[in-house]
Amino acid sequence: MLYLVGLGLSYKSDITVRGLEAVRKCSRVYLEHYTSVLMAASQEDLESFYGKPVILADRELVESGSDKILTNADKEDVAFLVVGDPLGATTHTDLVLRAKRQNIAVEIVHNASIMNAVGSCGLQLYQFGQTISMVFFTENWRPDSWYDKIMENRKIGLHTLVLLDIKVKEQSIENLARGRPIFEPPRYMSVSQCCEQLLEIEEKRGTKAYTPDTPAVAVSRLGSASQHFKAGTIKELSQYDAGEPLHSLVILGRQCHELELEYLLEFADDREKLRADVLADQEYFKPAPWVPPAEEEDSD
């Protein structure tokens, strides 16, 4: 059996009871270590808690060396641990499909993830549209395909969850080209850098999927003891220090319910300004009033 087990957001004890029972009976335990990290638990903490070794699985192992993970999984129990929920990333779905093609039984143990815990910022999950990922820009690579998804969300009034890039066990282009197994220090995108990139692409596109005055919510260390939220405009948050990682961002949609707004005001430095910014933003993409079609004149 292959078990895909969600670990939750922060602590070693965030794992479910069913997930812990599965892990403790497995002969091998892998920890996916590139889409996110468990903020309040180290590899050693997990090994002590589970009572067995934990193998770190980087992107290369999961995407290119999955056969190693699946070796003998038809004869023994293997656990693949994922921070958050197991199906939060496409590569994990691919691992499930690979296992099924080899007639390996799969059991998925779900857990809390950023996708549902983001409701802690006060915005209703029913009002979220497509989620996007913001990657680190480089000198020669500044992708902006996510812009169209924000535009689509905003046109129908929905909020956009922005997941911020992390770089763990990544090689520089030079070391990669030279085949040197030298890895860069871990990097975690901040809210301010994300907002700067948002503003850069809006200036480039110029079609106002959002503006510097569009309200947003900075989400810091969600699920940990130091989780924090800050509501402001994209421009204001581009100058905001959100502290230690991990960070996320939510761009508000036009349809911000009064209850959502009241909740958000708790996270604003200037409550009246935020209220005014949200009300002003609701005019963007506001549907035109319905006008009944003109009745055709009787020809008789």
Residue set of the binding site for S-adenosyl-L-methionine? 9, 85, 88, 113-114, 164, 222, 247
d(CA 94, CA 111): 19
- Name the burial class of residue 20, with classes exposed (0-12), middle (13-18) and buried (19+) by CB atoms within 10 angstroms of its CB: middle
d(CA 237, CA 245): 15
Tokens encoding 175 = 């070391």
Answer whether 58's CB lies under 8 Å from 83's CB: no
- Name the burial class of residue 150, with classes exposed (0-12), middle (13-18) and buried (19+) by CB atoms within 10 angstroms of its CB: buried
**Beta bridge partner(s), residue 229:** 219
Answer whether 94's CB lies under 8 Å from 86's CB: no
Q: Cis link prior to 246 (omega < 30° from 0)? A: yes
d(CA 207, CA 71): 51
d(CA 129, CA 143): 20
Work out the number of other CB atoms within 10 angstroms of the CB of residue 288: 5
Which residue ranges are tagged as binding site?
Answer: 9, 85, 88, 113-114, 164, 222, 247
Tokens encoding 74 = 């038809």
d(CA 242, CA 196): 14
**Beta bridge partner(s), residue 231:** 217, 268
